[in-house]
Structure 1
Amino acid sequence: MAKKLKIVSLVTSALVTICAVAVAATTSATSPFKVDRELFKLYPSLIVYEKTKAGFTEPETCAGCHEDKYKEWNGSLHSMAFVDPVYQGELNKAVKAVGHDISRQCEGCHSAAGVVTGEVKGPGLSGLSAVAKAGVSCDICHSISSLNHDKTPTKEPENGSFVIKPGEDAREGAVLIKRGPIKPQDGCGEGFHECRQTEFHVKADLCASCHQVYHYEKHFPIEATYNEWKHSPYAQKDIHCQDCHMVATETFVKAADTMQKPERKDYRHYFNGANYLLYYLGSQSALKAGDKQQSERLTAQYDMAVKRLQKAAELEIEPVYRKGALAEVRVRVKNMRAGHNLPTSLTNIRQMWLEVIARDDKGEVVLSTGAVGADGSLAEDARLFNSDGMGTDMHFSVDPWIITAFSRHETIPPKGYRDVYYGITAPKGSSRITIEARLRYRQADQKIAEALLKAVPKDIDLARDYGLAKVPVLPVVDMVSLKREVPATK
């Protein structure tokens, strides 16, 4: 009997081992994120190109009939999406690290026309057409015929999940077709193109195609701006990306405060966002090229970006007492007007933090945290609102082609807040403590920005093109500040 039990035990153990190996093999060989390679031929870019004899149109051609909209777009972040030196530096690093087939994921959104036509083959600007270098131009957005969000590996918007078709073939030749939210009137396009109405051009779903960046293999959302919006009060109130980023600052503030859509006359093709560093670089480039008007246009966009940042958040300061003595200070950071998290986009690169200084009634500093050094370095004790990325090895990384998860994710949701507590002890004899708090923002850590700008392709010369002999200390925007005096005892 004992011998039979031993045999049964051995057989059972062997079967368990075989099953475990089989499950492990199946798990490692499969993924919940299935890629339709027949549909997504440009994978990991998820753009679908319905090719016809119709080509893409330069934005300067569009300006012939839509001069006002062209001027609004020219100098926008969309217009500089591909020529942006920070992006080009990142792209150059990506190609060297993982190859062009994978980096095409980035190129698809930064120059859709250049990718689908095969013109863009890597980093750099040399030899490219005006259409390719125009980035997210008029003809890109207005040639999008449908969205493929439900067909992506995650069944969510990601990595350029749209269908682009600039026109159709007809007996007499190619017919250009441009799409937008307004019902076409007779004569629309004036014989140059036909007009068709869409619903998604006024919805966040259109923006979601490129403002959701997922890891090319693991499909982790490195950028999840659309998801942040979708799960917010703004989505519930039907306030979309266009209602804040395609209007003037005052209109954006009104929309965020009242949750009411702007009027039709209020919309502009500004596409203004928080990347004021790119506006600054673009303005310097225009000056170097002798284009004063373009430099002024970019400076206006820079000012708009700063003003929007300064309208986005609010602060509260509250003392915390224990046994009648001041023990802590609570600083609350509130996301008042951003329809996505603060910060958003590449949250592992963006830096938003608190600088707090407290002084006693003699003016002596009793608390100081979050200062920026003369070289642009941020103090290690700074309380940051951003993310830390990590790869499959669970080690820290800032490179988007490596990041497959966040080890820390501390951004602030729309209409939400985060509290930070600072321990503080009032000096003996002090009666009052004055606390100053500033919420500060910049595009990236100083060393990361330096590394990216130093990695630009050889055909981009920072001194020649931007007047930069070296990478400057990154500008920091004070989003909001608050000062409060509190009793040292209670």
Structure 2
Amino acid sequence: MKPLRLILTLMPFVCGCGDGSSGADDLLYDELSMPRVPTVALDSFASAEDCGLCHQTHYAEWATSAHAYAMKDPVFRAFVAVRQENYAGKQDKFCLQCHSPIGTRGGDIEAGFEFADLQPITLEGVTCESCHKVASLARPYNSGHVLDPDGPMRGTIAAPIPSSFHESQFSLLHGGSAFCAGCHDLREVSGLVLERPYAEWQQSPAVAAGVQCQDCHMPRYEGQAVAGGPTRTLHRHTWIGAGIPLLEGFITPDEEAALRVEVKRLLAGAARVDIAAPASVRAGDVVDLGIIVKNNISAHNFPTGSTFNRQAWVEVVVRDGDGRVVFATGTLDTSGEPRGPGLLQLGSVLVDARGQRVLFPWRATEHVSNALEPLRERAFRLRVATASAGRGPLSVEARVLFRAFSPDALRALGLDEYAARLEVHEVSRDLASVELRPR
């Protein structure tokens, strides 16, 4: 296997333009989440708008969330279009089993489907009853929830007030991390593990501390679940993550501004960078720099989720006393991608049978990761030549940076217009100074 740092620098992506038919001669079905025939009726589920008539705050939160965005996301749609082309519709249910569990189980997602032809409840994506009609969890990955359209609305309110609109029931499952695993841990048709935040959580210090996914991504607040109802401890239904919607108009400018603040808050301090540098070196000598990066998150890796799409790296810039750059790595080139000698990247790559990096998960035979485990740190080493430096001291700046997607990946998907909307977030920064002694 190639060293990860080498694999991470391979550009551009190998997109895999063949017919993708190997091992996929039969339609892809799963009794639970991708049934051959519908197991639920679409009209058994209420629209989020209907729920919002009473649950106004929760509806407003959901409407700006990644769950509401799940079927509208142009990046997701582009991936689906390529998979449809590669497999001639034979695997059309796979991505949709999580992005629209009701539509997939309700028969709206069939081979060769068009987004424009789907029913409104399908296009709502992960809508209210996708979660609140879950009766149990059959498996902690690949849409492992068991939907019960005729059952009560289940949630974390311990003593729900009887209602003429629907029956309500307390559910211990809905308050635990395993519930999130049902869709957020993902395995390809081949069995290759693609996303594993729940598996990471299971091995993390957060388990012993009793910290669940919902504690960070659905923070508690005091409010009314229904207008005019009693004040209770509720959970935000915004599910703040690492991304900002690229589709303009999905949320209002004010909502987007508020979301950017929340994303920055979530990422700020998620990791820490420290520079280990000598106090001085002789002019012209090489400076040995230690760059230590620590994951400050107790519950999952940094980064996590679809790490093969995410970008997390360390930018290191060394300047002399006149401000001239004598060394740089992790700075953005003209295409917007981080480049430089000894590029320090965190995350993962998908690799095919020939050892080439691929963009599309169904083309991968291996998922190589060097993401940081919870509360763990890693030391990198850089050797900086000072022959080109003028006067001292040398100033060293290191920053941990994060971006939800790679511009090159968007361009490979034909989504050039969205690359400009990608935001690079500064997660952590450290500074150091190195004196230059005369020779």
TM, length-normalised to structure 2? 0.82
The answer for the alignment partner of 1:171 in structure 2 is none
The answer for the alignment partner of 2:249 in structure 1 is 285
Residues 160, 169 of structure 2: 8 Å contact kept: no
Structure 1 residues 471 and 446 mapped into 2: Cα distance closer, same or farther (>3 Å)?
A: closer
Equivalent pairs, count: 396
Q: Distance in 1 between matches of 2:234 and 2:431?
A: 36
Residues 92, 109 of structure 2: 8 Å contact kept: no
Residues 48, 161 of structure 1: 8 Å contact kept: no
Structure 1 residue 106: deviation in Å? 1.0
The answer for the alignment partner of 1:85 in structure 2 is 74
Higher helix share: 1
Question: Do residues 208 (structure 1) and 208 (structure 2) align?
Answer: no
Tell me which moved more, 46-55 or 64-73: 46-55
What does the per-residue CA deviation read over 1:353-396, in whole Å, with 9 as the maximum and x for residues that have no partner?
Answer: 11111122233322111111233133153321121212345443
Residues 211, 223 of structure 1: 8 Å contact kept: yes
Amino acid at match of 1:274: A
Select which of 270, 275, 280 maps to 2:243. Answer: 275
Partner of 2:319: helix, strand, or coil?
A: strand
Residues 48, 162 of structure 1: 8 Å contact kept: no
Q: Distance in 2 between matches of 1:295 and 1:489?
A: 53
Question: Do residues 424 (structure 1) and 397 (structure 2) align?
Answer: no
Amino acid at match of 2:204: S
What does the per-residue CA deviation read over 1:327-355, in whole Å, with 9 as the maximum and x for residues that have no partner?
Answer: 31111111113621111122122111111
Q: Distance in 2 between matches of 1:47 and 1:384?
A: 42
Structure 1 residue 234: deviation in Å? 1.1
Q: Distance in 2 between matches of 1:84 and 1:92?
A: 12
Amino acid at match of 2:93: R
The answer for the alignment partner of 1:29 in structure 2 is none
Amino acid at match of 1:241: C
Q: Distance in 1 between matches of 2:84 and 2:32?
A: 16
Residues 335, 342 of structure 1: 8 Å contact kept: yes
What does the per-residue CA deviation read over 1:438-462, in whole Å, with 9 as the maximum and x for residues that have no partner?
Answer: 11111222121123254xxxxxxx9
Select which of 371, 384, 401 maps to 1:440. Answer: 401
Select which of 321, 344, 353 maps to 2:313. Answer: 353
Q: Distance in 2 between matches of 1:450 and 1:322?
A: 44
Structure 1 residue 295: deviation in Å? 3.8
Amino acid at match of 1:196: Q
Q: Which runs of 5+ in 1 are unaligned?
A: 1-36, 150-156, 169-176, 250-263, 288-293, 455-461, 463-467
Structure 1 residues 380 and 435 mapped into 2: Cα distance closer, same or farther (>3 Å)?
A: closer
The answer for the alignment partner of 2:148 in structure 1 is 165
* Percentage of identical aligned residues: 27
Structure 1 residue 429: deviation in Å? 8.0
Structure 1 residue 268: deviation in Å? 1.0
Residues 395, 431 of structure 2: 8 Å contact kept: yes
The answer for the alignment partner of 2:325 in structure 1 is 365
Q: Distance in 2 between matches of 1:336 and 1:193?
A: 42
The answer for the alignment partner of 2:210 in structure 1 is 238
Partner of 1:285: helix, strand, or coil?
A: coil
Amino acid at match of 2:153: K
The answer for the alignment partner of 1:28 in structure 2 is none
TM, length-normalised to structure 1? 0.74
Structure 1 residues 429 and 444 mapped into 2: Cα distance closer, same or farther (>3 Å)?
A: closer
Aligned positions of 1:11-90 closer than 5 A: 40-41=30-31, 45=34, 51=40, 55-90=44-79
The answer for the alignment partner of 2:275 in structure 1 is 317
Question: Do residues 141 (structure 1) and 109 (structure 2) align?
Answer: no
What value does the CA root-mean-square deviation take over the aligned residues?
3.0
Amino acid at match of 1:425: A
Structure 1 residue 286: deviation in Å? 4.2
Residues 102, 121 of structure 2: 8 Å contact kept: yes
Question: Do residues 298 (structure 1) and 256 (structure 2) align?
Answer: yes
Aligned positions of 1:359-398 closer than 5 A: 359-379=319-339, 381=341, 382-398=343-359
Residues 387, 411 of structure 1: 8 Å contact kept: yes
Partner of 1:71: helix, strand, or coil?
A: helix
Partner of 1:304: helix, strand, or coil?
A: helix
Question: Do residues 449 (structure 1) and 410 (structure 2) align?
Answer: yes
Tell me which moved more, 353-362 or 82-91: 353-362
Q: Which runs of 5+ in 2 are unaligned?
A: 1-27, 222-231
Structure 1 residues 349 and 54 mapped into 2: Cα distance closer, same or farther (>3 Å)?
A: closer
Amino acid at match of 2:335: D
Q: Distance in 2 between matches of 1:226 and 1:159?
A: 12
